Amino acid sequence: MVVLAQERVLPAGLEAQTARIVQILQQQAERYSAIGDAPKISIDELRFACVTDPSNQQAGYEGIWRNRRGDRCGSLTFNSDGSFYAEYDLFCPHPRDERWFVEMITAWGAGEKVHSEAKLIPRM
């Protein structure tokens, strides 16, 4: 997607959906992090830009989370068709299964439908 302009405020219809997605990401982060070690995933730290969907030239929005060093640590994209995809990096050992390492948590869907999961990689 191509960035067109920085936006601070999403359209009203996307604000509530963003809050719900962030809440789901936070729940997953708490589920897949050691107790008390989950990152605080905040809407306030999410910076959106208006983007153009290359498949149909319609407007969408891409939000980026950055850590204290300024590194990208997550994103939330609203596509022009109403679908979305979000991810947030965890990079931590699985709290209940030592065979796995949790790379990130993801959420995707459209409208009220939200799916989420953790991306696991084998621990060496």
Report the SS3 class of residue 27.
helix
pLDDT, one tens digit per residue, over 36-74 is 889 999 999 999 999 998 788 999 999 999 999 999 999
Q: How many domains does one find in the chain?
A: 1
The residue-averaged pLDDT of 76-105 equals 95
pLDDT, one tens digit per residue, over 14-29 is 999 999 999 999 999 9
| Structural domain span for residue 78 | 2-122
Looking up tokens 């990401």 gives 25
Among 119, 107, 96, smallest CA distance to 21 is for: 107
